[in-house]
Structure 1
Amino acid sequence: MKITIGSDHGAVQLKEEVKMVLKEYGDIEVTDVGTFGTESVDYPDIAEKICADVVSGKADRGIALCGTGIGISIACNKVKGIRCALCNDVYSAKMSRQHNNANVLAMGGRVVGFGPAGEIVRAWVEGEFEGGRHERRVNKIMAIEQK
């Protein structure tokens, strides 16, 4: 699996922790699109880079991080083909994959601690889309982009 990850200045530390969790899998290729320091940057720019990789197929999924996760998740969801889920708990992460086929995970560096973030990432990475009745609903969500 290929995952593109990025954060603004408010989640640089969380990004590094998440990368360590992803490394545990051994078979996940991670591309980090920044930022790499605490100097202020605009999260929409990071969101655009992550989502470009996902919609182009360069990455299978993306992980987007900012201070709260809210702004970057909103920006991600403006990109056609993206289903970004802001998850602050394991259950939401699991359901975002199983029921919504989320292709981008968002979290907040000032909201989620390192330990819980690792569990959220694991649930999301390991989650599989169930299809079935959920496929119909995801298709309806994606059809909204065409209007």
Structure 2
Amino acid sequence: MNQVKTAITIVLGFALVACQSNSSTGSEGSSAESTEQATTSSSAIADVEKQIMAVHDSVMPAMSDLMRLRKQINQQLTELDAKPASKELTQRKEQGRNLTAELTKAEEGMMAWMHQYNGDTLKTLSEDKALDYLKDQHQKVNAMSQLMRKSITDAQTYLK
């Protein structure tokens, strides 16, 4: 039980750090024209960053579901170990172990993405480089989101 509480605390801590490092970028120009261009650039960058964070924010609450499901599957695997061996039982246990690995991979994917994402970097990049960085991050966060959603859905189906 303490391990679950510790894991949840760590996850929420990472989420807080990742979310706080994602402040909007702003720019100041010396003329009205450069200010307008900078605002337009900042706006485009901020819009893409908001899309990325929306994906993150949509799956972050599912981290607790992911951990709960992994725990339930592990409990079921322990119960299955106590039963007499059969072909069906062996298949069920293998499926459970695979799902546990899938859930772990999804959790690690979220942690890895949050750890490597650095919204503060955007302030130091040109608009083109910032948009390239965000495009790459958008692909990564979408892949992480899909993995999380699929692993959760598969685990829920297994436990029914």
TM-score interval for Structure 1 and Structure 2 normalised by the shorter chain: under 0.3
* Higher RCO, Cα 8 Å, sep 6+: 2
Give the structure with the higher percent strand: 1
TM-score, normalising length from structure 1?
A: 0.26
Give the structure with the higher percent helix: 2
Larger Rg: 2
TM-score, normalising length from structure 2?
A: 0.25
